[in-house]
Amino acid sequence: MRLPSFQYLEPENINEALSMMDAYKETVKIVAGGTEVINHMKKRLLSPSFVINVAKLQELRGISVFDHEIILGAGTTLKEIANSPLIKEHYKAIAEAAFQVASPTIAAMGTFGGNILQNTRCLNYDQSGVVLNGLDVCHKRGGSTCLAVKGSKRCFSVYQGDMAPALIAFDGQCILRKSGSTRTIPIIDLFTGNGIQPFSIGSDEMLTGIIIPKQENGSGSAYKKLRIRGSIDFPLAAAAAVIKIGADGRIAVGRIVIGAAGPAPKIVEEASLALQGRLPEEVDLERVAGMAYSLTEGVDNLAMPGTYRRKMAVVLTKRAIQEALEDIKKGM
């Protein structure tokens, strides 16, 4: 499949890139690894007039360590995140998510920020133009119908990014920049919950980094993922857990986030509350993990049936909690 015509832009620094975005707004797309944008352009799901390549901007790369936080550059490759000794030791769920994103080739190209900002997916949308010409126009393509849930007034496309659930579990924040200003928001607030426009980011804004609070002793994490092919597929269900043990030996923080459960990652607030204040051995894992079931949208619009994916969300949540608790023991 050939790419549509576009004007290629390669800024020398972030400020120049932001000026370009301010000038072209809705007509421009950013690429770094390009693993999603280029594919969508080939399918004619995207036809930007301008493409800005930020892959060479070193300002967007790397892991910076400060007294109370670390900052992960949005242009850092998934391979760099997965192989970082710091991330593997203190932020295991993030390293596990990055390692499981895709094949080594794609992980070496794909960027951290690109994985966070990937579009929602649906079997009725992520197709070539030839296939889409034979389908009714769905909500995500600007139509008035949902092909996955007949008669629905909303889009049921699914967010399948790996990194976001793990980052949300760590209470991470996004750094969003545009010409003349910067804002920082919790990662969960980056998501609208609307499959048609899944992100609350301006057309002139760039995700430049993620802030993660430093982890203290007594914390552990894990990320679990369901997919058909173990080397390359998007998650069909996923769960991330971050657990911290207080000085009294009880769970002080228990954050559970599920992915591939709807148009945005979802914090299982009920499970988090059920974990807090309990000794690890007192936790009823079956009950706590079961709280993920009702939050998972069991729609048949991915490669596995929705009912199965809902059940597996519970299984993965249980495994993530178990492994996060094991991670704490290893660090003691």
Instruction: Assign domain 1-54 to a CATH class.
Output: alpha beta
What pLDDT shows up at residue 332? 59
What pLDDT shows up at residue 2? 83
What pLDDT shows up at residue 104? 85
Residue 317: closest CA among 255, 262, 245, 264: 255
User: Domain residues of the chain, as ranges?
Assistant: 1-54, 69-117+158-331
CA angle 243, 246, 251 (to 5 degrees): 45
Q: Name the token pair of 115.
A: 């994985």
Q: Which segments of the chain have a pLDDT < 50?
A: none
Q: What is the CATH number of domain 69-117+158-331?
A: 3.30.390.50
298 and 220 in contact (C-beta within 8 Å)?
Answer: no
- Contacts of 130 by beta carbon, 8 Å cutoff, 6+ apart: none
What pLDDT shows up at residue 328? 92
What pLDDT shows up at residue 247? 93
The predicted model scores a pTM of: 0.95
Q: How far apart, in whole angstroms, are the C-alpha atoms of residue 332 and residue 326?
A: 10
Fold equal for 1-54 and 69-117+158-331:
no
Cα-to-chain-centroid distance, residue 90: 19
Q: How far apart, in whole angstroms, are the C-alpha atoms of residue 283 and residue 292?
A: 16
What pLDDT shows up at residue 216? 83
